[in-house]
Chains A and B, each alone.
Chain A
């Protein structure tokens, strides 16, 4: 009995693996295909955004602020911001736009989401890695003081990006309002998420408020805590952040579950 169930599960897992493989390949081919740089665009694309911005900021700001080297501070703020914007940006109507794939019964709306946003996330994470190594070799960035904390910060930032993207993707299929609300919100997010400031810079009552309503701030604090170590004071609460993200992910999955009912396909 249990053996039979394990076998059924194993077969389902194999289907899942094949479907995701096919969707990753499709996303790859669709976006970068067999033309010019091909898959190198996966991480080159985010870098094309990142380098001019980082360069511009270094021109207008002092080389050291609050005891942190300017470029390192911007790198640790802007690259995760870019990741969030790219992963969530493509999430609007992601299921509808790729509805042609739902013609295959094995493909679920969640598969489509994972295929697209998952690849986007991987591209952005590799852009982080490549740009980090580049800056490290140029002597602009140091090796992280606490690289476990640094990586945990990136893990939570990835989770946060995917959880928000999942919710936006599922809700946008239900109402066009989501699109009109999400675009301004994602702009305001840039100012509030923590990419330009640290919790320690805020006066105390404001800091408490920020830490309780601004989940990505915790992830930013971890990334920077890992990068700069004891030079700075950081505030984060991993269990609070995990709870928030678990709830958001659960909500997103729940909304995604019957998204087929709201789809109007060609």
Chain B
């Protein structure tokens, strides 16, 4: 279970002596196996919320408790060292999470379909290739809860299909927090949606209602 209680997050302005409140008094609970979506326009605090749940940054006020293992925010650049090759990244992740290199390499090779590029530095990858590697690594580590920021929209059609398979069929018992603009994905797989607007968050059990409100923002 993940319990987010009255979380606010301020960022100091780079140019003025003020603070911007990016999230304000957000609370929700995520049970084991539950899948929720986070909806919100660009800049509404979706990624910040995901980083806080992942434990990368600390909330200014409030608390976040986790009783299951939580992935890093999958999809961005984080978690992978750009200057190293794909293979060396696999090796590094294996060491951090105590996994067997061969098993993980086989899985990543099969899922990310990067072929010979695994021997090249990640910095030379395209955005789609990077996202595939990042996602494959997080699936190979096998977390209880996945935090996913827009990734499914990044890949091509085949990758999208395989992501669904891995995340929703094979790992149906895992929890998920998904930031996405795509109504179909959200409606197919999430049971609730948290709508963020100007830092405030409200949880909806009715996904149609959540999308109506999101579209009106």
Contacts and interface: CB of A to CB of B under 8 A. Distances in A.
B73 interface: yes
A26 B77 contact: no
Interface of B: 11, 51, 54-58, 60, 70, 72-73, 76-85, 88, 91-93, 95-98
24 contacts: A18-B95, A18-B98, A22-B92, A26-B88, A29-B81, A29-B85, A99-B78, A100-B80, A101-B79, A102-B78, A103-B73, A103-B78, A104-B93, A104-B96, A104-B97, A105-B54, A105-B55, A105-B70, A106-B96, A260-B58, A265-B51, A265-B56, A265-B78, A266-B76
A265 B54 contact: no
Given A22-B95, A107-B96, A102 B84 contact: no
A30 B84 contact: yes
A261 B73 contact: no
Contacts of A104: 72, 79, 93, 96-97
Contacts of B95: 18-19, 21-22, 25
B2 to A, nearest CB: 13
Contacts of B98: 18
Nearest to A258: B58
B24 to A, nearest CB: 17
A206 interface: no
Contacts of A4: none
Nearest to A27: B81
Interface string A10-48: 000000001101100110011001100000000000000
A25 B51 contact: no
Given A25-B92, A26-B92, A30-B83, A260 B57 contact: yes
A264 B76 CA distance: 15
Q: Decide if the interface of chain A is mainly helix, strand, loop or mixed.
A: helix
A102 B58 contact: no
B72, B73, B96, B98, most chain A CB atoms within 10 A: B96
B78 A100 contact: yes
A101 B81 contact: yes
B57 A265 contact: yes
Given A25-B88, A103-B79, A266-B78, 19 more contacts: A18-B98, A22-B92, A22-B95, A22-B96, A26-B84, A26-B88, A26-B92, A29-B88, A33-B84, A100-B77, A102-B78, A103-B56, A103-B72, A103-B73, A104-B72, A106-B96, A260-B58, A263-B57, A265-B57
A45 to B, nearest CB: 17
- For the complex of A and B, 5 pairs with smallest distance between CB atoms: A103-B79, A103-B78, A103-B72, A22-B95, A30-B83
B11, B79, B95, most chain A CB atoms within 10 A: B95
Contacts of A103: 54, 56, 72-73, 78-79
Contacts of B80: 100
Contacts of A258: 58
Nearest to A15: B98
Contacts of B58: 258, 260-261
A247 B203 CA distance: 49
Interface string A99-120: 1111111110000000000000
B82 A100 contact: yes
Contacts of B51: 265
B68 to A, nearest CB: 12
A105 B55 CA distance: 7
Given A21-B95, A105-B70, A264 B11 contact: yes
Contacts of A33: 83-84
B116 to A, nearest CB: 15
